[in-house]
Amino acid sequence: MKNYGIILASGSGSRYSSDIPKQFIKIAGKTVLEHTIEIFEKSNNIDETILVITPDYRHIAENLLLKNNYKKVIKLLNGGATRKESSYIGITSINDDEANVIIHDCARPFLSEKIIDNCVKALQHYDAVDVAIPSADTIIKVHDNIIDSIPDRSELQRGQTPQCFKLSLIKKAHELSKNDNNFTDDCGLIVKYNLAKVFVVEGSGENIKITYPEDIFMADRLFQIRSSVYPESTSLAGIKDKVIVIFGGTSGIGQCIFDLGKQLGAKVFAASSRTGCDITSYKDICNYLESVYQKTNRIDYVINSAGILKM
């Protein structure tokens, strides 16, 4: 059974207050749309991706698809006037008798592969799956600016996406709700028409939705943090016997890299003024690299950890 990802990117972003929809705003060098598509591209549990886009900006989406040459995006569809219509367009474009459908808001570009994996696993036992996190705040019900009630926070969670379904179930839900405009989200339809139990997979605090301009600053910071974190699953065993030259390797970060390389069995050489190499001198750098090469017959990595102050 195939796993289809449906990315809803057809919103106008009215609350974002920008000249272009938020899905085309750039964060960390890429549009929000590109970041979200790449999540599905890299996921081992997504077979094909369907993109539902704002019709007025279809040309931008087409250019992004051509530029990036995504392998899994099989359809680019014009979205409807509402989220419900766009979701229906994406769902009904799938011709399989049965499939797993993973519907995700484009405005959540921090979806993790772990969440996708857990959703697909849950679909082995449930026909409908939502993603949510516990509410850290007290939720109050207000009427005319007066608190009407304060629900028990332990029973409240904040919904996220993706929302995942067996294809036949979510198609049935949309067929039943054709004339029903009281729509919150796809899981809401399943609950409203009592079609199935909706299992909740734990989401993530990082799986934020970009709604307002200030969210862009938070998102950009999150991408910076992610790019600076070394993946725990990455093995350094391949460093053994490699030849590494570190400029600025006798102090600070450079020395730490030098020590780590030695511990892992690499042949490490530290170049700095302390070892007779003036890193501001092109000639000294060439001579140092040449001397290392004469000793080892190869250089696998060169790392620059030296800061040069220019007056």
Residue 220: pLDDT band (50, 70, 90) is: confident
Is the separation of the CB atoms in 181 and 113 below 8 Å?
Answer: no
Residues 6+ apart with CB under 8 A from 46: 3, 4, 5, 40, 72, 102, 116
Residue 13: pLDDT band (50, 70, 90) is: low
Name the pairing type of β-strands 157-166 and 100-105: antiparallel
Mean pLDDT over 244-249 rounds to 92
**Lowest-confidence segment of 37-51, 59-73, 136-150 by average pLDDT:** 136-150
Mean pLDDT over 82-99 rounds to 96
190 versus 214: the higher-pLDDT residue is 190
pLDDT at 181: 83
Residue 165 has pLDDT above 90, yes or no: yes
Helix (H, G, I), strand (E, B) or coil at 34: helix
Residue 232 has pLDDT above 80, yes or no: no
Which residue, 22, 186, 204, 9, is CA-closest to 106? 9
- Residues β-bridged to residue 133: 158
Mean pLDDT over 88-94 rounds to 98
Residue 308: pLDDT band (50, 70, 90) is: low
Mean pLDDT over 216-228 rounds to 75
CA 6 to chain centre: 15
- Residues β-bridged to residue 14: none
Mean pLDDT over 146-170 rounds to 94
**Lowest-confidence segment of 72-81, 82-91, 149-158, 235-244 by average pLDDT:** 235-244
Residues 6+ apart with CB under 8 A from 196: 126, 127, 128, 169, 190
pLDDT at 200: 98
Residues 6+ apart with CB under 8 A from 147: 140, 141
pLDDT at 279: 84
11 versus 283: the higher-pLDDT residue is 283
CA distances from 201 to 41, 46, 204, 207, 208 (A): 21, 17, 10, 13, 16
* pTM over 0.85, yes/no: no
Ordered domains of the chain (ranges, CATH): 3-137+144-228 (3.90.550.10), 237-304 (no CATH)
Mean pLDDT over 229-256 rounds to 81
DSSP 56: G
Residue 77: pLDDT band (50, 70, 90) is: very high
Residue 38: pLDDT band (50, 70, 90) is: very high
Residue 169 has pLDDT above 50, yes or no: yes
Phi then psi dihedrals of residue 291, to 5 deg: -65, -40
pLDDT at 145: 93
Mean pLDDT over 108-135 rounds to 96
Residue 307: pLDDT band (50, 70, 90) is: low
- Residues β-bridged to residue 160: 131
